[in-house]
Amino acid sequence: MKYLTFILALYTFALHGQKADTIRMPGESRGQILRISLEKDRNYGHPVLVFWLTKPDGTYLQTLFISQTIGKGIYPHGQVKAGKWLPGEHRHPSTLPFWAHNRGIKANDGTFLPTPDNPIPDAYTGATPLNNFVLYVKADSLLREKVILFFEINQPFDFNEYWHNTRYPDSQPYKNSGQPSVVYAVMIDMANPEPEYFLNPVGHGDPQGLTGKLFTDLSSLTTALKMVKKIKVEVLSPGN
């Protein structure tokens, strides 16, 4: 009986008691600190993701955190040499297209992706967390207005019956993605913040990464909506 109780306790911990990784991004500005807590769901495997801020009208303000593969334009298995996978440059415009087009910086190849020659600065990039995590990020300046916090996430090769691997047979970016990125958002009053905010899904990105359009119909998504269980945001005073 004691053995059974022990096993049940371990099972309960595995489901509900996973320790969250803490990630603190460097920042020298006087802006507010945001504490973002993400609880993953059952289909969270090895995604890429990004958090960023815009004005209420959608005007881009800043990136807060982005997976370094996208932010630097270098993938750990980007090229093959001597029969081995080595880090190398790769272009995946379908990965986080809503963020990329909102940021609005076009590379020489016509995409809106960062490149090794023009990457996102280190202060905003990091390895994608593999566990539940608490992320501390900082606004570039002290904000006294309402802003939108966006979150976009995508998992490679995540196909389903609707987003099958022959839906766009001539699109290699789509074949690397499958179900498109999922976009979450919440409006935050930075001057008079609530104790906590929660992000909710508001749409998905362009499945081929050709535009920055937000598609609000999520009915075709399945496992893509099971990557994230909850995202909570708290606005902390500068210096806390």
Residue 142 has pLDDT above 60, yes or no: yes
Q: Which residue has the higher pLDDT, 92 or 186?
A: 186
10 occurs within a structural domain: no
Give the pLDDT confidence score for residue 239 in this predicted structure.
Answer: 53
Strand duo 60-67 + 125-126: pairing: parallel
| Residue (of 240, 161, 160, 171) closest to 206 by Cα position | 171
Q: Is 11 contained in some domain? A: no
- Supply angle C-alpha 211, 214, 217, rounded to 5: 130
State the average pLDDT over residues 110-130: 94
State the pairing for strand pair 74-81/84-89.
Answer: antiparallel
- Residue 126 in domain: yes
Residue 174's pLDDT band (cuts 50, 70, 90): very high
Of residues 238 and 117, more confidently modeled: 117
At 236, list the tokens.
Answer: 């902390």
Distance between CA 216 and CA 94 in Å, rounded? 17
Is the pLDDT at 37 greater than 90? The verdict is yes
Q: Please, which pLDDT band fits residue 162 given cuts at 50, 70 and 90?
A: very high
Q: Is 137 within a domain?
A: yes
Question: For position 124, what pLDDT does the model report?
Answer: 96
Distance CA 105, CA 60 (A): 11
Note the pLDDT of residue 27: 74
Is position 113 within any domain? Answer: yes
CA distance 172 to 87: 20
Q: What is the mean pLDDT of the chain?
A: 88
Print the domain residue range for 47.
21-236
DSSP state of 98: H
Span 195-224, mean pLDDT?
A: 98
Distance, CA of 49 to CA of 44 (rounded, Å): 11
Domain count, the chain: 1
Read off the pLDDT of residues 47-103 as tens digits, 9 standing for 90 and up: 999 999 999 999 999 999 999 999 998 865 444 444 444 455 767 899 999 999 999
Q: Which of the two residues, 72 and 27, has the higher pLDDT score?
A: 72
Cβ distance 60 to 104 under 8 Å? yes
Residue 12 falls within a domain, yes or no? Answer: no
Contact 129, 21 (CB under 8 A): yes
The letter for the amino acid at 190 is: M
Is 4 within the bounds of a domain? Answer: no
> Measuring CA to CA, which residue among 227, 188, 223, 219 is closest to residue 203?
219
Among 40, 60, 35, 64, residue whose Cα is nearest residue 52: 64
